[in-house]
Amino acid sequence: MPHSIPIVVATAIMLAIAPACAQSPMPGGMPPPAGMSLAESTAMRFPQPVRAGDLAHRLILQPVESQIILGRVRSVVRNAQGDVSVVMNFGGFYGYGGRLIAVPIDAMVLLGDEMEVVAYTPKQLAAFATFTPDATTPVADDTILKVGLAKPSH
Amino acid sequence: MTKSPFRPDDAPDASVLDMHRTLIRTLERRGLLRAGLTLGSLVMLTGCDVKRPEAVEEALLAISNLNDRVQALLFDANKLAPTYPASMILRPPKFNAYYDVTDVKPVNGATWKLELGGLIQNKRPWTLQDLQALPQRSIVIKHICVEGWSYIGGWTGVPLRTFLERTGADLRAKYVAFQTADNYPSSIDMAAALHPQTVLALQYGGQPLADPFGFPVRLRTAVKLGYKNPKWITAIEVTNTYPGGFWESKGFPWFAGM
């Protein structure tokens, strides 16, 4: 048994490296095809019920292998047309700082306890107007929303 | 007799192993010699994208197999994994597969049947209603992925031990293997299959499994990494022949215990 210890240690190191090798062959969080509406994009991603209040403070990622942090969920609002958006801080550092923007919830997906913006690139998000609460109402925490899914992008 | 879904149409003649016994022994000796590579060399050679010589890959595989055996020796069938309060259940759970969610093919629960094969006395197929009629168990456990993420999930289903006992499975066999609707074969050791925190899950968070998470039946075990939990199960086999698995065929460790 003592002779096997170095081998077991080597294997443990291999397993520590393994996550980098555990990438699935298919990427996750692909943007919707050109011409597809945001609602159709969500519909093809098996939307699941989630409490609006459970989205608060979740990290929002860019769907790339390095999972760049775009911001955090600050609130969920509904506009006069009834469309739901996620208010997030954008342009900060590791989810902190930056300015608030409102991103349609159908442009986003759930990744466990995180979210991703799949329908807009960071460059497009940078062009979003700074959020002001005028003409929106907060979505109550107990409201059940339907949000699409994606597999992790790493 | 019904043909097992685990067997190819044209099975090779088992006598080929006897005919080449000498050659196989030689290969095993070579594998052991290659397993003696130094720790430093191994670390340098484990980069994911480096094209490794075949001999080194064989050595790494031998080490991985040894690691599986060590983990099996250390496994305590009576030790329970940590559990959590229902308030910590993540709703909905995290989706993961070897493809994106847009490629999920939902299974029709009304026509779905669970086929059985191998060392099981009663191989009659099971319907979803049959499984729902068996005693259920709820567990709130952590799903830990080899990729580094985790979440706490609440699962309800039939303890796999109960199912194996009801069907007259040979509980002394080595492996329990699974086939799935998404072509994700998987297998676990019998000790893990009989562990009290291993269930054929039918519900998540008190609700029937949703399509992306394995409806109608998936495996959830607290004693294995996430990739050992196949979804959309269509067949179960009890066997003494190593069944492998989807990621295992790509070099991942088979035992994957926690």
Residue B21 has pLDDT above 80, yes or no: no
Optimal mutation site among B48, B56, B65, B147, interface A, most CBs of chain A within 10 A: B147
Interchain contact, A49 vs B95, CB within 8 Å: no
CATH number of the domain enclosing A122: 2.30.30.240
pLDDT of residue B14: 64
Instruction: Judge whether B67 and B95 are in contact, CB under 8 Å.
Output: no
pLDDT of residue A19: 41
Look at residue A113 and tell me if it is in a domain: yes
Does this complex have an ipTM over 0.85?
A: no
pLDDT greater at residue A133 or residue A28: A133
Greatest CA separation for chain B = 60
pLDDT of residue B238: 98
Cβ neighbors of B183 (< 8 A, separation 6 or more) are B246
Q: Which residues of B touch A65 (CB under 8 A)?
A: none
Look at residue A11 and tell me if it is in a domain: no
Rounded to 5°, the CA angle B10-B15-B19 comes to 130
Average pLDDT on A90-116 reads 95
pLDDT of residue B161: 98
Is residue A135 classed as helix, strand or coil in its secondary structure? coil
Residue A28 Cα, gap to closest chain B Cα (Å): 5
Reduce the secondary structure of B75-143 to three states and give it as a string.
CCCCCCCCCCCHHHCCCCCCCCCCCCHHHCCCCCCCCCCEEEEECECCCCCECHHHHHCCCCEEEEEEE
Residue A3 has pLDDT above 70, yes or no: no
pLDDT of residue B43: 47
pLDDT digits (tens, 9 = 90+) for A39-91: 999 999 999 999 999 999 999 999 999 999 999 999 999 999 999 999 999 99
- In chain A, the number of structural domains is 1
pLDDT of residue B6: 78
Q: Distance between CA atoms of B133 and B204, rounded to whole angstroms?
A: 17
Look at residue A142 and tell me if it is in a domain: yes
Residue B82 Cα, gap to closest chain A Cα (Å): 20
pLDDT digits (tens, 9 = 90+) for B162-213: 999 999 999 999 999 999 999 999 999 999 999 999 999 999 999 999 999 9
What are the extents of the domains in chain B?
A: 15-74, 86-250
pLDDT of residue B48: 44
Look at residue A77 and tell me if it is in a domain: yes
Residue A8 has pLDDT above 70, yes or no: no
pLDDT of residue A154: 78
Measuring CA to CA, how many Å separate A92 from each of A61, A65, A88, A96?
13, 20, 11, 5
Interchain contact, A154 vs B46, CB within 8 Å: no
Look at residue A50 and tell me if it is in a domain: yes
User: Pick from B145, B236, B146, B228: which is nearest to B192 by CA?
Assistant: B228
pLDDT digits (tens, 9 = 90+) for B27-65: 665 555 555 444 445 545 554 445 567 888 888 889 999
Cα dihedral A61, A65, A68, A72 in deg (nearest 10): 20
Look at residue A138 and tell me if it is in a domain: yes
pLDDT digits (tens, 9 = 90+) for B66-114: 999 999 999 999 999 999 999 999 999 999 999 999 999 999 999 999 9
Residue A33 Cα, gap to closest chain B Cα (Å): 12
pLDDT of residue A24: 52
pLDDT of residue B3: 66
pLDDT of residue A112: 96
The third-level CATH classification (topology) of the domain covering B86-250 is Sulfite Oxidase; Chain A, domain 2 (3.90.420)
Residue B234 has pLDDT above 70, yes or no: yes
Residue B94 CA to its chain's centroid (Å): 19
Q: Distance between CA atoms of B239 and B120, rounded to whole angstroms?
A: 9
B42 closest CB neighbour out of A10, A28, A111: A10
Look at residue A17 and tell me if it is in a domain: no
